[in-house]
Amino acid sequence: MQAGTSSGFAFCLFSATFLFLLSISTYSLDLNKFINMSVDIRLAKSRVVGLDVYHGDDPGNIVTPGDIITADTGFMRGHGTYMSEDCLHSSVAGMVERVNKLVSVRPLKTRYNGEIGDVVIGRIIEVSQKKWRVETHSRMDSILMLSSVNLPGGELRRRSEEDEKMMRNYLKEGDLISAEVQNVMSDGCLSLHTRSLKYGKLGQGTLVKVSPSLVLRRKTHFHNLPVGASIILGNNGYIWICPTEHVEAGETGGYETNLQPVSRSEREAIARLRNCVLALADQNVLLFDTSILYTFEASQKYAVKDILKPEVILEVVDLVQQRLELEGS
């Protein structure tokens, strides 16, 4: 505890001088606000708003429920739309997307619609007979069957009654897991599996929840970022950020959790990543490894806790969007 306080003090000194330099060189916010950050109250009236995409001159392809998308009958009805009086209407608020003749609306805010093969992060909420119930921000609770997990030690065998009794020892209520969607049942309930060493129980780290529509579908959703932390971008909008070496240890299926303290530098990287992900989500920017890394880099000139402030979020995300546009991705 002694060491903790002294290092904390050193850090304060460091950040104070750092911010001092910053305030005279690059940024014109007053110094007091940064050093005495314990309390920060502001007015709703003075809130900075980003580019108003919804009320601008050109609303683009954003629709609200009931809006007419097209009166042309040559299109096919996709997700988030309905036919009424020979017009195609939107049933959700979101962006219109078109693939050839198929028109669909991708909602801005939604529950997770699972698809087979998706990587998800979920929390165990119930242990029942031969299966776990998992919360995955889906409309219904997902299910993880005892037969679709790798038992500790990577054993592959028939699940005996013993295993059934030991279920709570493997995964108990509150535990977080990463898994893959194995099947979507007829009622929309997802069945998950963790039969690969990269899936399984998660250890120390931070869970961030964002809208599922913000997570870009990619070939891989597990990233070891070169900033000292790993990130799992669940398709269900749950994002797991953890120290890198713990992921390697977790390759055994993650049943033995490492409860050793995480080093300060890793902790800082994780906290920064967390705030960066939230900043991107706040501005409705798609989340994938590049966008997150760029935000991480753009945020370097701010202290970690300052990335929670709206004006900093705007500035950082704006930089990232420009950079992404430049690179055409």
User: For tokens 């314990």, what's the residue?
Assistant: 38
| Site for other proteins contains 39 (CB under 8 A) | yes
User: For tokens 């950082």, what's the residue?
Assistant: 316
* Count of C-beta atoms within a 10 Å radius of residue 213: 18
Question: Phi, psi (5° rounding) for residue 113?
Answer: -100, 110
| Site for other proteins contains 248 (CB under 8 A) | no
Q: Which is nearer to other proteins, 88 or 121 (CB)?
A: 121
Q: Which is nearer to other proteins, 189 or 271 (CB)?
A: 271
Question: Phi, psi (5° rounding) for residue 241?
Answer: -120, 130
Residue at 124: amino acid letter: I
Hey, what are 209's tokens? 């929840």
Q: Cα 86 vs. chain centroid, distance in angstroms?
A: 39
Residue 204 is classified by DSSP as S
Give the per-residue contact string, 161-190, with other proteins (x = CB under 8 A; - = no): ------------xxxx--------------
Q: Which of 272, 279, 316, 320 binds other proteins (CB under 8 A)?
A: 272
| Site for other proteins contains 275 (CB under 8 A) | yes
Piece in contact with other proteins (CB under 8 A), picked from 71-79, 91-99, 137-145, 302-310: 302-310
Residues 116-155, interacting with other proteins (CB under 8 A):
123, 125
User: For tokens 């950020």, what's the residue?
Assistant: 241
Give the per-residue contact string, 201-220, with other proteins (x = CB under 8 A; - = no): -xxxxxx-------------
Q: Which of 56, 154, 188, 261 binds other proteins (CB under 8 A)?
A: 261
Distance CA 117, CA 107 (A): 21
| Site for other proteins contains 156 (CB under 8 A) | no
Which residues lie below 8 Å from residue 75, measured CB to CB, with a gap of 6+? Answer: 88, 98, 101, 102, 103
Distance CA 227, CA 216 (A): 21
Strand order in the sheet with 87-90: 68-70, 87-90, 81-84
Piece in contact with other proteins (CB under 8 A), picked from 66-74, 184-192, 228-236, 259-267: 259-267
Residue at 56: amino acid letter: G
| Site for other proteins contains 252 (CB under 8 A) | no
Shortest Å distance, C-beta 43 to other proteins: 5
Binding site for other proteins (CB under 8 A): 1, 4-5, 7-8, 11-12, 36-45, 47, 49, 123, 125, 173-176, 202-207, 257-259, 261-262, 264, 267-268, 271-272, 274-275, 303-305, 307-310
